[in-house]
Amino acid sequence: MTRVLIVGDERKGGTAQVIGAFERWLRGQVDEVEVVLDRAASLANSRADLLCVFGGDGSILAAARRMGAHQVPTVGINLGRLGFLTACGPEQAEQVTRAALDGALHEEQRAMLECSVERAGGEVSDAVLALNDGVLNRTSSAGIVSLVARRGDQELATYAGDGLIVATPTGSTAYSLAAGGPVLAPDLDAVVLTPLASHSLALRPLVVPFSDRVGEGLELLVQEAGREGVCPFVIDGQVSMQVSVGDRVCVRPTPVKFRHLTLGSDSFFRLFRRKFGWADLPRER
């Protein structure tokens, strides 16, 4: 028995209509179809064999987080702008989904992070999964953010400026790239630490190997956070945790992997060239 879950955001105009037409086609292809249009609804208890996400990259990030520990092979249908994580547009949705059901798509195991905040008093917040990144940054009215980054028992650096991005290979092509960070191939077991408006010329983006070994996560100890003494830690641009001076942001590797379906094993580099114009020679118009 084949079950497919369709996810979209009903608040975005036209999404419900596109999904409605796709659902009618899909019901003739598989045994069970479930549609979830509430972007806040949990997907952790889904028994689906395939997840079809209609939306942009943000919709895929949200779906990955909402699935929690039970990750389902996921294909993205782009209804947004860039759509770097999506496999196709709505006009190819049926063809690509049929290929997914036939096992003809390539599955990438994308690393995810488990993020939490350990308060100065010892309390620990609930952990939140991140597929892209966690960003510790100053508020608009605050001065600089100062923090110490540690990996296990090693101190990596002290950062002072607007903040710090901790990005997965998936997130290395997002905010981190815009801030001057390097691109990491999606199968790397590493994260990149990219400073935001650093007050030191000696600080540059740092790629740190990651593994599932205990104690090898990152800790960001906040030492200064402007006049208010508090700053946000934002996960995938969607979930925000308030962090005070003396708190520690904990970013741990997790065995949970996002199961990303693509059109081929080389699709990351083809997409990167096409979407960003990467490694392309200038041409006369």
Question: Does one domain contain both 243 and 117?
Answer: yes
pLDDT at 285 over 80: no
- pLDDT tens digit string along 233-244? 999 999 999 999
265 within some domain: no
So what's the pLDDT on residue 212?
57
Last residue of a domain, one of 51, 71, 104: 104
For residue 73, what are the domain limits? Answer: 3-104
Among residues 85, 89, 21, which one has the least CA distance to residue 58? 85
> Does the active-site annotation cover 57?
yes
Residues 42-48, mean pLDDT to the nearest whole number? 93
Whole-model pTM over 0.85: yes
274 within some domain: no
Q: Which residues pair with 134 in a beta bridge?
A: 166, 235
* Eight-state DSSP code of residue 15: H
Q: CB-based contacts of 135: which residues, under 8 Å, 6+ apart? A: 163, 164, 165, 166, 175, 196, 233, 234, 237
So what's the pLDDT on residue 283?
61
279 within some domain: no
Last residue of a domain, one of 79, 104, 129: 104
From the candidates 57, 162, 236, 247, give the one annotated as an active-site residue: 57
So what's the pLDDT on residue 214?
47
pLDDT at 282 over 80: no
36 within some domain: yes
Last residue of a domain, one of 104, 122, 154: 104
Question: Does one domain contain both 67 and 138?
Answer: no
Question: Does one domain contain both 118 and 100?
Answer: no
Dihedral (CA of 92, 90, 98, 44) sign: positive
Looking up residue 37, the CATH number of its domain turns out to be: 3.40.50.10330
What rounded mean pLDDT belongs to the chain?
Answer: 91
So what's the pLDDT on residue 284?
55
Looking up residue 124, the CATH number of its domain turns out to be: 2.60.200.30
Highest mean pLDDT among 106-115, 220-229, 267-276: 106-115
41 within some domain: yes
Among residues 145, 148, 161, 134, which one has the least CA distance to residue 244? 145
Question: Does one domain contain both 148 and 171?
Answer: yes
- pLDDT tens digit string along 18-28? 999 999 999 99
| Tokens coding 183 | 């691109």
Question: Does one domain contain both 177 and 80?
Answer: no
278 within some domain: no
What DSSP string describes 157-178? EEEEESEEEEE-TTGGGTHHHH
Count of domains in the chain?
2
Question: Does one domain contain both 77 and 143?
Answer: no
So what's the pLDDT on residue 137?
92
- pLDDT tens digit string along 79-94? 977 778 999 999 999 9
Model confidence band, residue 14 (pLDDT cutoffs 50, 70, 90): confident
